Structure 1
Amino acid sequence: MEAHDTKAVGAARVTPVSRAMETIRALREELAALKGAQPIAVVGVGLRAPGGIDDLDGYWSALASGTDAVRPIPESRRHPFGAAWDEVPHRGGFLDEVLEFDAPFFGVAPREGRALDPQHRMLLEVVQEALDDAGIPAARAAADGATGLYVGITGQDYREWMREGPDSYWATGNGHCFSAGRLAHTLGLTGPAMAVDTACSSSLVTVHLARQALRGGECDIAVAGGVNLVLSPHGTALAARTGALSPDGVCRPFDARANGFTRSEGCGIVVLKRLSDAVRDGDRVHAVIHGSAVNHDGRASGFTAPNVLAQTRLVERALAEAGLGPADIGHVEAHGTGTALGDPIEVEALAAALGGRTGTATPVLLGSAKANLGHTESAAGVLGLIKAMLSLRHRAVPPLPHFTTLNPRIDLAGTGMRIPTELEPWPAGAGAYAGVSSFGMSGTNAHVVLGAPEERPPDAPAAAAAPVPVTGFEVSARTPAALRAYATLLAGRLAGIKDEEYAAFAYTVTHGRSALATRIRVAATDRHRAAAVLTAVAEGLLPPEAEEVTAGAEPGFGELPRRVLDLPAYPWERRRYAPRDAEPAPAG
């Protein structure tokens, strides 16, 4: 019987089918290993930040100049709580207007729009802008069938605006889970979709989760980030009782005068793909994520107290995931909230993880966007990541506003770490990578290691930069008014590009944007003629070189190669949506 079994097994082992199955299994294992090990590309970015920041150029300009965007709450933002704001620290990184929203663009009815948390509204717009920046129309992301969505969100202040009595719109318009669910529903995404709340680390945790999902093959595109709005004084009152808020509303990371943080608002979204897929697909790569880690403080000295050992292990794990060492890090965008306890612990952990106090450590410049923006809480981590991405792009590290004297509890001796007080070139001899930290009051911590993209990937075709003849492009918007506004923006962009970038402009506006209801096809072989045609369209004219395109028709100019170029964001047609009984009384 044993001999018979052995013979049968041996026969089965050498059949063509078994050999084929073994080959398939081995190839699958190799593919899984490659997917798990490879870096992740940042291919699209969208953001909102205090100071009117809504694009990468504006963000870098503010950072490089050391701008402090913190201010008293605008009068227009006090309603419906009025004088209650005077009872709490009310300097912060406030956005100008957060109730305005282009509801029809996303198919949201007016009644539903009034009930929809402004954080969810902002996510809809910024996610759309991030996909646009990636040159991936929402319909294409949906058609791929494997686009994941990870949203960091903590506050629920808008519930306090509900005076009319609850209804179904308020229920689905304010829960955390519905922030991700609505995005996936509106955009038609069928991959993983979830909201994440780990307090201040939420948005960087979403980047880690998205990276893990991409490595594991759960999705081929991932959208990750977070949002935070301060819509009620009551949450600020609770935060003030913890002693974490700065009484004078100034965030001073690492400074001797540090006395807490100030609450702020913002949103940051990144679109991620496996680097090999991004190269294959001709995507523009903003930065490359090489490693990430998430852990918890565990049993620290207090529930909200940071743990130096946990933070050290966090950074070490992220470096190990990236296959890098301490000397490879030249810049750390720190959590850096400007608290007397948190800052020294964070620096001590970084010193331990990045080589100790040997006196031979390579230079590492420290920064924290909270000195510019305030603490954007559940959006802070991803805004810090975008800042580090920009530092890698410009090979420079911005100054830290409000820094004059090092916190006496912080010792940088022998660590190689220092704090820039002006825009500094990337230090000579420093590592080529940046680390980004974000720590939650819940105890959940995240760290991401990223680097600059290669100038040209080794396997990229040499013809990718060759001149391409262009015959024209298409532009679309939801309404004629929006089309005219968009034409104005695009004409201005054409004036600032190089002739050789015209093909990328034509591809991006035609195939890298969603085809909307009002659409024109422009015949123009160079950027100057294209700008003239768009200027005429902006004035309400339809010159001979422009023709209307039937809604639903396939885009033309299919011969254009995929090259993605920065273009102005879509011109949203916003109007104010607020509960009827929460609107301020008319003046006079």
Structure 2
Amino acid sequence: ADRAALVPAVIDVSALRAATSGGPVPAVLRTLIGVTSTRRQAGQGAGGWADRLAGLTEDEGRAQVDVLVRALVAQVLGHGGAESVPADRAFRELGFDSLTAVDLRNRLNAATGLRLPSTLVFDYPTPAALADHLWSELAGVRQSTAGPVAGPVLGTDEPIAIVGMACRYPGGAESPDELWELLAGGGDGISEFPADRGWDLESLFDPDPNRSGTSYTRHGGFLYGAGEFDPGFFGISPREALAMDPQQRLLLEASWESFETAGLDPQRLRGSRTGVFAGVMYHDYASRLMDLPTEVEGYVGTGTSGSVLSGRVAYTFGLEGPAVTVDTA
């Protein structure tokens, strides 16, 4: 237009300067960023960033790339600055969708001079993972997000070894040690029906075994803690957790505990070729969700499909090997 328009705006100058430190700056913003910053950016693409990082230690270089990524994430989401973006939170949990994912990719391309794919935030699902990838691209080094994994060394005559275990069994056995104690002590895993399932226990029981829709016993093998799940720990919203088959929640917990008993830090396996193989059957949770609350409708498909289970574990822990769910009935 021929006439100017007055637009009030709140601008975080330091975040803006960090976000555009490696690429061209729109003319309308150059005065805000400052002449020195603008001069420094002239002619700097991926090569300029690589040259800059070459003069730094690895820790210093990674820190600069990390600030760049989180500052741009803050811009896209409208947050205050890089410090307001947790490095280890999944982009999905931070509020990213396909539109904001492309927006972030475009800003990173402009800042670094790289040509990054539009699937960037799905390939590298946290700011920390994305910063590691950018560091490896800019510094020309092989990405090593997993790093050396501390743990047992398998002998050549032992192609398969169990180095970590976890379990859930009736009778309060929530670890292999507790299961062994239950068995060694001659314990009994059978108990009364749980009272926290929303069942009408009085009408459920009928001593006549031929009556349909009832149970002629008041006892069975149950996991009393099946409903105890911390969705935030796994980066899952409470609404999504409500739509998830308990098998998915239990396997997430058991997977984490398997890492613990093996003495492995799950974060060090992120990006590694670790595989997830799950044997799963009986997918009857969906049949209990006849009248769907509107707040969980969008999650029922992934929450009740057995095939999703191995992929959910792989995605949660950033494992990039095979993810296979097997149901042979």
TM-score (norm 1): 0.26
Task: Kindly indicate which of the two structures has a greater share of residues assigned to strand.
Answer: 1
Task: Kindly indicate which of the two structures has a greater share of residues assigned to helix.
Answer: 2
If asked which structure has higher relative contact order (CA below 8 Å, sep 6+), I would say 1
